[in-house]
Amino acid sequence: MQLSIIVPTYNEAPNVAELIRRVSAAVVGIDAEVVFVDDSTDETPDVIREVAASASLPVRLVHRSSRAGGLGGAVVEGFALAESDTCLVIDGDLQHPPEDIPLLFERFQRGDADVVIASRYIGGGTATGLADRSRVLVSKAATAVTRSMFPIRLRDVSDPMTGFFIVDRRAIDAATLRPRGFKILLEILARKNLRVAEVPFDFAGRHAGESKASVHQGLHFITQLTALRFGKMSLFALIGGLGAVVNLAIVWALTMMGVDYIVAAIIAAEVTIVGNFLLLERFVFHDMREAASSVWVRFAKSFGFNNAEALIRIPIMALLVETWHISAVVATGLTLIVAFFVRFVFHSLVVYAPRRPGVEPTRTRRIVEELDAQAMSPGEL
């Protein structure tokens, strides 16, 4: 097999037959297969199976129920399933013209690049398929910000946001990838220095269906970009910053209502401790949960530590207010900044520390884990 064409799909049933028809015509003379990695909730899997039965090239389907990692996760799964080490990624909505597949494949076969990218922003390329001028501006602004954050890794890349590219999967360290949403190429390029080449292409309008772009996907992109550039601490800081804003807002609101600032600080601390833990579980340490203690043990560690930290932090805050006559809000902010670094170290090294192999859990731990298993099992406890 010379080429594996990976197509991540989500509710693209109206486009499948036309996509296979055009891909089949484009790859004549190339020993190629098409691998659909499908996260759909509509009839797309059935349409793929129907089209595959009469296709002139091998067509395989993997339908995922978890949809882990979104489109990026689907592409990574496609890399693992591909028959060829040469993997081409293309969207299922026909905004990436299949007729350009031979152009990317020919450029890749020269052997001087690990990744060949179809770019909208080099000579001859266009972005006419973007819905309107505002989408074009958003795309170009996001591209500029991304390149500015990775000036070395992306120095030869004009369009790191594209989803149309060909790559040697052997050049990728799949274990390091943390796919989130749409921008899997950015994830690949930012994780490892790769030799890059580009060819222009015309980004077309959708053949059928509706665009999946949304504010939600935009937030995913911001999260991905932040994590790639600054690692877990950046996400930890982002959530900590959000918690600090909520904390300050609660302190301000309660003190305006006449509640003593110490009581207000305690209430604010408890609310944000629980909220931050839930966000850390979902966005920061999600990749470490499986090897760590159970969720209830993690929560107990996090809740206990943060309360102990608050018992130290709040008296210091009170000292700043009473001795230096700093406002309660400013004193709260200053102490939260110091607490951030201590919290990150504790959560990284203690709360989400992997279980030690070969060490028998204590009786208390077995009871807690059994309760956890029962609570998470289907039906009633």
Are 140 and 277 contained in the same domain?
A: no
**Could you tell me how far CA 231 lies from the centroid of its own chain?**
12
Q: Is 198:119 a contact under the CB 8 Å cutoff?
A: yes
Give the three-state DSSP class for 32: strand
Q: Is position 381 within any domain?
A: no
Pair 151, 206 in one domain: yes
Residue 314 in tokens: 């709040």
- The CATH number assigned to the domain holding 206 equals 3.90.550.10
**CA–CA gap between residue 246 and residue 231 (Å, rounded):** 23
Domain ends where: 200, 228, 256?
228
pLDDT at 257 over 80: yes
Rounded Cα gap, residues 41 and 58, in angstroms: 24
| Domain of 141, in residue numbers | 3-228
Co-location of 168 and 251 in the same domain: no
- Residues 109, 198, single domain; the answer is yes
Q: Has residue 178 got a pLDDT over 90?
A: no
The pLDDT value recorded for residue 189 is: 85
**Within a domain: 65:** yes
Q: Which helix (H) or strand (E) holds 295?
A: helix 295-324
Proportion of the chain above pLDDT 70, given as a percent: 80
If one counts the domains in the chain, the total is 2
pLDDT digits (tens, 9 = 90+) for 325-356: 788 778 877 887 777 777 777 887 788 877 76
Residue 87 DSSP label: E
Global pTM value: 0.59
Of 199, 228, 257, the last residue of a domain is 228
Inside any domain, residue 61: yes
Tell me how far CA of residue 27 lies from CA of 17, 33, 37, 363, in angstroms. Answer: 16, 9, 20, 62
pLDDT tens for each residue of 185-243 = 888 887 788 899 999 998 875 545 555 444 555 566 666 666 666 566 667 777 878 88
Residue 193 and residue 178 share a domain:
yes
DSSP 197-232: EEEE-B-PPPSSS-----HHHHHHHHHHHHHHHH-H
Q: How many degrees, rounded to 5, is the angle at CA 116 between CA 4 and CA 49? A: 25
For the cut 60, the answer to whether the pLDDT of residue 85 exceeds it is yes
Q: What is the pLDDT of residues 6-52, one digit of tens each?
A: 999 988 899 999 999 999 999 999 999 999 999 898 999 999 999 99
Token pair 């550039």 in the structure block, residue: 229
Among the candidates 209, 228, 247, a domain finishes at: 228
Q: Do residues 107 and 114 touch, judged by C-beta distance below 8 A?
A: no
- What is the C-alpha separation between 186 and 162, in angstroms, rounded? 9
Same domain, 235 and 216: no
